[in-house]
Amino acid sequence: MVRAGSYGLSIDVDATFERARERAIAALKDEGFGVLTEVDVKATMKQKLDVEFRKYVILGACNPPLAHRALSAETEIGLLLPCNLIVYETGPETSVVAAIDPEVQLGKVGRADLAGVASEVRSRLVRVLEATAAGRPVLASKIPGNRWVVLGNNGDHPMGLLYDGDDPEDFLKKALILIDEEEVRRKFGEAGIRRAASLPTPDEEAGRLARVYEMAMHPGGKEISAQTIFKNRRMMNS
Protein backbone atom coordinates (compact mmCIF):
# COMPACT_ATOMS: atom_id res chain seq x y z
CA MET A 1 0.00 0.00 0.00
CA VAL A 2 1.25 3.48 -0.87
CA ARG A 3 2.09 5.61 2.16
CA ALA A 4 1.63 9.37 2.07
CA GLY A 5 4.17 11.34 4.11
CA SER A 6 4.54 15.06 4.69
CA TYR A 7 6.11 15.61 1.28
CA GLY A 8 6.34 12.24 -0.45
CA LEU A 9 4.70 8.95 -1.39
CA SER A 10 6.38 5.60 -0.76
CA ILE A 11 5.85 1.86 -0.94
CA ASP A 12 7.73 -1.27 0.16
CA VAL A 13 8.84 -3.60 -2.62
CA ASP A 14 9.67 -7.28 -2.13
CA ALA A 15 12.53 -7.28 -4.61
CA THR A 16 16.23 -6.63 -4.77
CA PHE A 17 17.35 -3.06 -5.35
CA GLU A 18 18.28 -3.87 -8.96
CA ARG A 19 14.92 -5.37 -9.81
CA ALA A 20 13.01 -2.61 -7.99
CA ARG A 21 14.92 0.00 -10.00
CA GLU A 22 14.20 -1.78 -13.29
CA ARG A 23 10.50 -2.12 -12.47
CA ALA A 24 10.22 1.50 -11.37
CA ILE A 25 11.73 2.75 -14.63
CA ALA A 26 9.42 0.49 -16.65
CA ALA A 27 6.38 1.65 -14.68
CA LEU A 28 7.37 5.30 -15.22
CA LYS A 29 7.54 4.65 -18.95
CA ASP A 30 4.09 3.08 -18.89
CA GLU A 31 2.74 6.28 -17.32
CA GLY A 32 4.39 8.54 -19.90
CA PHE A 33 7.46 9.56 -17.88
CA GLY A 34 10.97 9.59 -19.24
CA VAL A 35 13.95 9.39 -16.89
CA LEU A 36 16.01 12.51 -17.59
CA THR A 37 18.58 11.99 -14.85
CA GLU A 38 19.79 9.20 -12.63
CA VAL A 39 22.03 9.83 -9.63
CA ASP A 40 23.81 6.84 -8.11
CA VAL A 41 24.03 8.06 -4.53
CA LYS A 42 26.10 5.09 -3.32
CA ALA A 43 28.75 5.60 -6.01
CA THR A 44 28.78 9.36 -5.51
CA MET A 45 29.26 9.07 -1.75
CA LYS A 46 32.12 6.66 -2.28
CA GLN A 47 33.79 8.79 -4.94
CA LYS A 48 33.41 12.18 -3.26
CA LEU A 49 33.59 11.31 0.44
CA ASP A 50 35.05 7.79 0.49
CA VAL A 51 32.15 6.60 2.65
CA GLU A 52 29.94 3.55 2.27
CA PHE A 53 26.22 4.01 1.67
CA ARG A 54 23.31 1.74 0.86
CA LYS A 55 22.29 1.19 -2.77
CA TYR A 56 20.26 4.29 -3.58
CA VAL A 57 19.33 6.07 -6.81
CA ILE A 58 17.49 9.30 -7.51
CA LEU A 59 15.53 9.28 -10.77
CA GLY A 60 14.52 12.61 -12.32
CA ALA A 61 11.31 11.83 -14.21
CA CYS A 62 9.37 14.02 -16.62
CA ASN A 63 6.04 13.65 -18.40
CA PRO A 64 6.41 16.13 -21.30
CA PRO A 65 2.71 17.06 -21.82
CA LEU A 66 2.17 17.64 -18.09
CA ALA A 67 5.45 19.53 -17.76
CA HIS A 68 4.40 21.75 -20.68
CA ARG A 69 1.08 22.54 -19.01
CA ALA A 70 2.81 23.46 -15.76
CA LEU A 71 5.52 25.58 -17.42
CA SER A 72 2.95 27.37 -19.59
CA ALA A 73 1.06 28.38 -16.47
CA GLU A 74 4.11 29.33 -14.37
CA THR A 75 7.48 29.91 -16.06
CA GLU A 76 9.57 29.40 -12.92
CA ILE A 77 7.87 26.12 -12.06
CA GLY A 78 10.96 24.55 -13.60
CA LEU A 79 12.63 25.10 -10.23
CA LEU A 80 10.47 22.24 -8.96
CA LEU A 81 11.06 19.95 -11.92
CA PRO A 82 11.63 17.15 -12.74
CA CYS A 83 9.66 14.92 -10.41
CA ASN A 84 12.09 12.97 -8.26
CA LEU A 85 11.61 9.28 -7.57
CA ILE A 86 14.01 7.32 -5.38
CA VAL A 87 14.80 3.64 -5.05
CA TYR A 88 16.87 2.30 -2.16
CA GLU A 89 17.60 -1.06 -0.61
CA THR A 90 16.38 -2.04 2.82
CA GLY A 91 17.62 -5.64 2.74
CA PRO A 92 18.96 -8.33 0.40
CA GLU A 93 15.49 -8.89 -1.12
CA THR A 94 13.60 -5.75 -0.09
CA SER A 95 13.56 -2.15 -1.27
CA VAL A 96 11.61 1.07 -1.00
CA VAL A 97 10.41 3.17 -3.92
CA ALA A 98 9.27 6.71 -3.17
CA ALA A 99 8.25 9.79 -5.13
CA ILE A 100 7.76 13.45 -4.37
CA ASP A 101 4.12 14.34 -3.75
CA PRO A 102 3.35 16.80 -6.57
CA GLU A 103 0.32 18.21 -4.77
CA VAL A 104 2.60 19.28 -1.92
CA GLN A 105 5.36 20.36 -4.31
CA LEU A 106 3.18 22.44 -6.63
CA GLY A 107 1.02 23.62 -3.74
CA LYS A 108 3.93 25.83 -2.69
CA VAL A 109 3.39 27.93 -5.81
CA GLY A 110 -0.02 29.09 -4.66
CA ARG A 111 -1.62 28.72 -8.09
CA ALA A 112 -5.08 27.16 -8.02
CA ASP A 113 -4.94 26.59 -11.78
CA LEU A 114 -2.09 24.11 -11.28
CA ALA A 115 -4.14 21.89 -8.99
CA GLY A 116 -5.37 19.78 -11.91
CA VAL A 117 -1.83 19.14 -13.14
CA ALA A 118 -0.64 18.26 -9.64
CA SER A 119 -3.55 15.86 -9.13
CA GLU A 120 -2.93 14.08 -12.43
CA VAL A 121 0.81 13.74 -11.80
CA ARG A 122 0.10 12.41 -8.31
CA SER A 123 -2.33 9.80 -9.65
CA ARG A 124 0.23 8.64 -12.21
CA LEU A 125 3.01 8.41 -9.62
CA VAL A 126 0.79 6.42 -7.27
CA ARG A 127 0.17 3.95 -10.10
CA VAL A 128 3.92 3.81 -10.74
CA LEU A 129 4.58 2.89 -7.10
CA GLU A 130 1.79 0.32 -7.04
CA ALA A 131 2.96 -1.27 -10.29
CA THR A 132 6.54 -1.45 -9.03
CA ALA A 133 5.44 -3.21 -5.84
CA ALA A 134 2.68 -5.45 -7.15
CA GLY A 135 3.66 -6.28 -10.70
CA ARG A 136 1.24 -6.20 -13.60
CA PRO A 137 -0.93 -8.97 -15.04
CA VAL A 138 -0.35 -10.06 -18.60
CA LEU A 139 -2.93 -10.33 -21.38
CA ALA A 140 -1.40 -12.08 -24.38
CA SER A 141 -2.51 -13.92 -27.50
CA LYS A 142 -2.64 -17.70 -27.33
CA ILE A 143 0.41 -18.40 -29.50
CA PRO A 144 2.94 -21.11 -28.52
CA GLY A 145 5.67 -18.63 -27.54
CA ASN A 146 3.42 -16.92 -25.00
CA ARG A 147 2.13 -20.01 -23.23
CA TRP A 148 5.10 -20.62 -20.91
CA VAL A 149 5.66 -16.90 -20.31
CA VAL A 150 2.08 -16.43 -19.09
CA LEU A 151 1.21 -19.81 -17.59
CA GLY A 152 4.64 -21.00 -16.42
CA ASN A 153 5.38 -24.61 -15.54
CA ASN A 154 3.08 -27.10 -13.86
CA GLY A 155 2.39 -25.85 -10.35
CA ASP A 156 3.12 -22.21 -11.16
CA HIS A 157 0.38 -19.65 -10.66
CA PRO A 158 -0.32 -17.98 -14.03
CA MET A 159 0.73 -14.36 -14.35
CA GLY A 160 -2.07 -13.45 -16.73
CA LEU A 161 -4.59 -14.63 -19.29
CA LEU A 162 -4.32 -15.90 -22.84
CA TYR A 163 -6.89 -14.98 -25.48
CA ASP A 164 -7.74 -16.37 -28.90
CA GLY A 165 -6.19 -13.98 -31.42
CA ASP A 166 -8.92 -14.85 -33.94
CA ASP A 167 -11.76 -14.11 -31.53
CA PRO A 168 -12.27 -10.42 -30.61
CA GLU A 169 -14.96 -11.39 -28.11
CA ASP A 170 -12.52 -13.61 -26.23
CA PHE A 171 -10.05 -10.71 -26.02
CA LEU A 172 -12.78 -8.41 -24.67
CA LYS A 173 -13.92 -11.01 -22.15
CA LYS A 174 -10.40 -11.55 -20.79
CA ALA A 175 -9.65 -7.80 -20.75
CA LEU A 176 -12.81 -7.12 -18.72
CA ILE A 177 -11.77 -9.76 -16.18
CA LEU A 178 -8.50 -7.91 -15.59
CA ILE A 179 -10.25 -4.54 -15.47
CA ASP A 180 -13.07 -5.53 -13.12
CA GLU A 181 -11.53 -8.10 -10.75
CA GLU A 182 -8.94 -6.51 -8.46
CA GLU A 183 -8.08 -9.73 -6.62
CA VAL A 184 -7.37 -11.51 -9.91
CA ARG A 185 -5.06 -8.67 -10.99
CA ARG A 186 -3.24 -8.81 -7.65
CA LYS A 187 -2.63 -12.57 -7.83
CA PHE A 188 -1.41 -12.39 -11.43
CA GLY A 189 0.87 -9.48 -10.54
CA GLU A 190 2.35 -11.30 -7.56
CA ALA A 191 2.95 -14.38 -9.72
CA GLY A 192 4.75 -12.19 -12.24
CA ILE A 193 7.04 -10.83 -9.52
CA ARG A 194 7.89 -14.34 -8.33
CA ARG A 195 8.59 -15.44 -11.91
CA ALA A 196 10.81 -12.43 -12.53
CA ALA A 197 12.73 -13.08 -9.32
CA SER A 198 13.52 -16.61 -10.48
CA LEU A 199 15.03 -15.43 -13.77
CA PRO A 200 18.53 -13.98 -14.22
CA THR A 201 18.92 -10.22 -14.34
CA PRO A 202 20.12 -8.64 -17.61
CA ASP A 203 23.62 -8.32 -16.12
CA GLU A 204 23.62 -11.96 -15.04
CA GLU A 205 22.44 -13.07 -18.48
CA ALA A 206 25.12 -10.95 -20.15
CA GLY A 207 27.72 -12.56 -17.89
CA ARG A 208 26.55 -16.04 -18.86
CA LEU A 209 26.71 -15.20 -22.56
CA ALA A 210 30.20 -13.75 -22.12
CA ARG A 211 31.38 -16.96 -20.44
CA VAL A 212 29.86 -19.10 -23.20
CA TYR A 213 31.56 -16.91 -25.80
CA GLU A 214 34.88 -17.18 -23.97
CA MET A 215 34.59 -20.97 -23.82
CA ALA A 216 33.71 -21.12 -27.51
CA MET A 217 36.64 -18.93 -28.52
CA HIS A 218 39.18 -20.67 -26.25
CA PRO A 219 38.26 -24.37 -25.99
CA GLY A 220 40.85 -26.09 -23.85
CA GLY A 221 42.71 -22.79 -23.57
CA LYS A 222 43.35 -22.60 -27.35
CA GLU A 223 41.95 -19.68 -29.30
CA ILE A 224 39.90 -20.41 -32.40
CA SER A 225 38.41 -18.01 -34.91
CA ALA A 226 34.78 -17.00 -35.23
CA GLN A 227 34.92 -18.36 -38.80
CA THR A 228 35.73 -21.82 -37.45
CA ILE A 229 32.85 -21.59 -34.96
CA PHE A 230 30.35 -20.70 -37.69
CA LYS A 231 31.75 -23.43 -39.97
CA ASN A 232 31.27 -26.00 -37.21
CA ARG A 233 27.75 -24.76 -36.60
CA ARG A 234 26.87 -25.15 -40.29
CA MET A 235 28.21 -28.69 -40.26
CA MET A 236 26.13 -29.52 -37.18
CA ASN A 237 22.99 -28.09 -38.74
CA SER A 238 23.44 -29.75 -42.13
pLDDT tens-digit map of 51-80: 999 999 999 999 999 999 999 999 999 999
Same domain assignment for residues 164 and 225: no
Per the structure, how many domains does the chain have?
Answer: 3
Neighbours of 61 (CB within 10 A): 27
Of 99, 94, 122, whose CA–CA distance to 20 is shortest?
94
Full domain range(s) for residue 150: 138-198
Specify the DSSP class assigned to residue 95. Answer: E
For the chain, the residue count is: 238
Q: Mean pLDDT throughout 211-217? A: 73
Same domain assignment for residues 22 and 103: yes
Q: 3-state DSSP call for residue 58?
A: strand
pTM, entire model? 0.63
pLDDT digits (tens, 9 = 90+) for 5-39: 999 999 999 888 998 999 899 889 989 999 999 99
Same domain assignment for residues 189 and 210: no
